[in-house]
Amino acid sequence: MAASKPDSSSGRFSYDGLERAMHEKARLGMLTSLMAHPDGLLFSDLKDLCALTDGNLNRHLKVLQDEGLVEVWKGTKHNRPQTLCRITPEGRSRFLEYIETLEKVIADAAAAARAAPSPATARILKGLSPA
């Protein structure tokens, strides 16, 4: 999903490039960690970096695997089970597109925040109180 301008039929602040699979806080942290470690991370290292429990990390890894964003390799080292988590080439590409969309969100939010409220806004709010 490329970060593109919304067409005229969609809302100005509708960001199609924000993929739900990536947008959850834990998964965003996991993908960021894996992007910084292209050779992959052991399950325990990824768990520590993202401050997740074994169960939470497993659940989020499953979502990311189902989306084709990460791959999980299981094996043994010194007779101990090892699980290696790695971002896929597709995951890397989609994550970079996702980051581009986030940058657009930030730029749009900053521009909207800097914009002076119009005089019409004061008329609309007159007589209203916060809920």
Range of the domain at 25: 20-114
Q: What is the pLDDT of residues 19-39, one digit of tens each?
A: 888 888 999 999 999 999 999
Query: What pTM was computed for the model?
Result: 0.76
Is residue 78 assigned to a domain?
yes
Is residue 31 assigned to a domain?
yes
Per the structure block, which two tokens stand in for 80? 């101990």
In this structure, are residues 58 and 66 in contact, taking their beta carbons and an 8 Å threshold?
Answer: no
Q: What is the pLDDT of residues 42-100, one digit of tens each?
A: 999 999 999 999 999 999 999 999 999 999 999 998 999 999 999 999 999 999 999 99
Residue 88 is part of a domain; what is its CATH number? 1.10.10.10
Q: What pLDDT is stored for residue 119 in this prediction?
A: 59
- What is the domain count for the chain? 1
Q: What pLDDT is stored for residue 5 in this prediction?
A: 47
